Structure 1
Amino acid sequence: MENLLDINFLIDSFPAIISRLPVTIGIAVGSLILSLFIGVATALIKIYRVPVLRVISAIYVSFIRGTPLLVQIYLVFYGIPKIIYYMQIEYGWLQSADVNSIPPEVYALLAFSVNLGAYLSETIRSAIESVDRGQFEAAKSIGMTPVQMMLKVIFPQALATAIPNLGNMFISTIKDTSLVFIIGVIDIMGEAKILGSRGLAFFEVYIAVSIVYWILCIAVERLLVKVEKRARRYERGIA
């Protein structure tokens, strides 16, 4: 009689799955960092109503929000090599670029950065706009440039407001990285699929990988709570 669950196989699969944690965390953290730059730039374009760029940023955010992440990954994975190849043939640009040597992790990182940047732009915009207008006027009155005002006065206060949403999006990104296996990235989900196909024990490896994701997200959530407390402490100091 066949057992419902092969406990030994489940336990033995953990080391291999955990060994791929750096890939999952690397894509999630890297995309968060890059998306912050995209999100801040897009948010400032909307806040200051920059001509032309404002329309482009609105289309960008609308497109990302209105299409599945899976489709966006495919667009980046198949689109970037085609664009590079087109530029090489038609204009002679990027001749040193070899699309075949670009690792799939790079495409995954770009796709997640573009996706997350669109969502973060709204979070960052609302966080900046939540800062009391008096702070803007006070910074201007002491002769701060717009860049100094944003970096030294506005962003530190907006950060405390944005951290909860940033944390939720980061946790969602960690879970969404399970999609990168479709373009050949072997993350923890990819490793689980490989192990499952080898041992024909998909149920066991999916239990194992779900536990790894669960523990990872709990650890990140605990870390974010500490970061938020420190930011709120700074906010109380300002008040």
Structure 2
Amino acid sequence: MTVLDLAAAGAVGVPEVGGKAASLARLLRAGFAVPHGFVIPAGVYRQAAVALGLDRPSAGRPEEARRRLLAIDLPAAVIEGVGRAVDDLLEGAGSEYVAVRSSAVGEDGAGASAGAAGGMAVLVQRFVDAEVSGVMFTGDPTVIEGSWGVGELLVSGRVAPDSWRTDDSGILARRAGRKITRSDRRDGRLVTGPVAAAEQAAWCLADSRVQSLHVVGRKVSSVLGGARDIEWVLADGTT
């Protein structure tokens, strides 16, 4: 098992696909607008770690373990499986780009990869050229944050987003951000540039969109069984 379709990943379980991929698989099967993708399960990592003698907990040197892992050749079956999966994923997608994301098996994926063979799954999804990106924390109240372009600047804390607090009655409070830069895909790479003055002064989401995101957040929380941190994008007029 070298590659799993994302829709099937939830049935395999967190120990193989990680928490992020398992949750997205559940949402995809429930009908949410999740970009399609595939997962390289953590077993691929564990096999490599065992072969290098990195399968036992150690207080040793994580950078050395990382260097040794990066230096090995991937098995031909993994290369072939990933190649086929990428071809299938991009067929009819209208874009040749993908997003590659980690999906940790444990809370501390980085720590696990440095010592024992708990490992890390890899999630590959269709890349979405976002008009607006953001995060949503579905507590009580819900907090929604957003900014222009692809979300790399927001999640890294390099841009101050617009923010809203919502509950089932509507928008409770709002705070304008300082949206002076944005990232967008240009010629196969993410390029950071200035935001036009008119967009700096404008809210990145209309109130109706904020309220619809709140409803989506509530539904996600219901499916996954509790409050969640959610990454979202607005592209082609759809979140």
TM-score > 0.5 by shorter chain? no
Higher strand share: 2
Higher helix share: 1
Relative to the length of structure 1, the TM-score reads: 0.25
Radius of gyration: which is bigger? 1
Relative to the length of structure 2, the TM-score reads: 0.25
